[in-house]
Structure 1
């Protein structure tokens, strides 16, 4: 993070705090879905829990943005009272690593839609593997676990990737991101 500007750290941290609140707000939604569909209910919307990593990385476009934003969001969630406690920080780190992996594969040079979606998928895969060992998924049938995995991947691609892109692009259109990488790219497209 030695080549980060102070304002990039501030915007990443602000996004992490905002999305920590969003993450907490979605816990009851997940519980309702689990009530209707069983454990797969959370997987249907799991992408919401790593959206900040995609948004921060897309806006800032520097190594570590996905990982750090997700980790900070998890820390804030714990401070706000998430019942999981400090283990949630490890979950956030795992999700952030999964999201960061897609950007790393492009050497942090490609932020097209497919990379954002791949980042959401990466976070989904990393979090699912982590959750498999901690969440007792092995007690479920192979078919059900496979369906959970597929649902989480789709959620990661669509909610984290596409929705994260839409939110970021919407912010860029307002001009508030004009001094960040995404804002500069948006300004170039408008003047081209």
Structure 2
């Protein structure tokens, strides 16, 4: 983090706090969906729990942004009272690593929609592997397990990647991100 500017750290931290609250707000939605559809109901919206990693990485564009933002958000979520407790921080670390992997594969140089969606898929896959062992998915049939994974990957791609990009682009259009990599990219587009 030697080459991070203070305002990048502040924005990443603020985003993490905001999305920790969003994550808590979506827990009842996930529980309702799971009550109606079984465990796969959570997978429909699981992408919401990765979104800060995609938004922070897309805005800041530095190694570690996805990982750190997701880890901070999970930590804040625990401090705000998530019933899972401290184990949730490990979940955040794993999700952040999954998202960070997609950016690392491009050496943190490409932030296209495809890469953002792959980051969401990466977070989905990493979290699913963790959930498989932690939550006992092995008790389900193979078809159901594969369906859960596919639904979670789609959720990661669409909610985290596509919606994360839309939220970030919306912020950039307002000019509030003008001193960040994404804001500079938007200024170049406007000038062209």
Task: Report the TM-score, using the length of structure 2 for normalisation.
Answer: 1.00
SS in 2 for 1:177: coil
**Consecutive aligned runs of 4 or more in structure 1 exceeding 4 Å deviation:** none
**Which residue number in structure 1 is paired with residue 23 of structure 2?**
23
Aligned-pair Cα RMSD in Å: 0.3
SS in 1 for 2:123: helix
**Which residue number in structure 1 is paired with residue 125 of structure 2?**
125
Q: Are residue 69 (structure 1) and residue 78 (structure 2) matched?
A: no
Task: Report the TM-score, using the length of structure 1 for normalisation.
Answer: 1.00
Q: Are residue 167 (structure 1) and residue 167 (structure 2) matched?
A: yes
**Which residue number in structure 1 is paired with residue 92 of structure 2?**
92
**Which residue number in structure 1 is paired with residue 14 of structure 2?**
14
In structure 1, distance between residues paired with 2:143 and 2:189 = 46
In structure 2, distance between residues paired with 1:89 and 1:81 = 12
- Shift in Å at residue 35 of structure 1? 1.1
SS in 2 for 1:36: helix
**1:117-170 residue CA offsets vs partner (Å, 9 max, x unmatched):** 000000000000000000010001111111000000000000000000000000
Q: Are residue 80 (structure 1) and residue 80 (structure 2) matched?
A: yes
In structure 2, distance between residues paired with 1:112 and 1:103 = 10
In structure 2, distance between residues paired with 1:93 and 1:186 = 30
**Which residue number in structure 1 is paired with residue 177 of structure 2?**
177
Q: Are residue 191 (structure 1) and residue 153 (structure 2) matched?
A: no
SS in 2 for 1:109: coil
In structure 2, distance between residues paired with 1:171 and 1:42 = 28
**Which residue number in structure 2 is paired with residue 150 of structure 1?**
150
In structure 2, distance between residues paired with 1:31 and 1:102 = 29
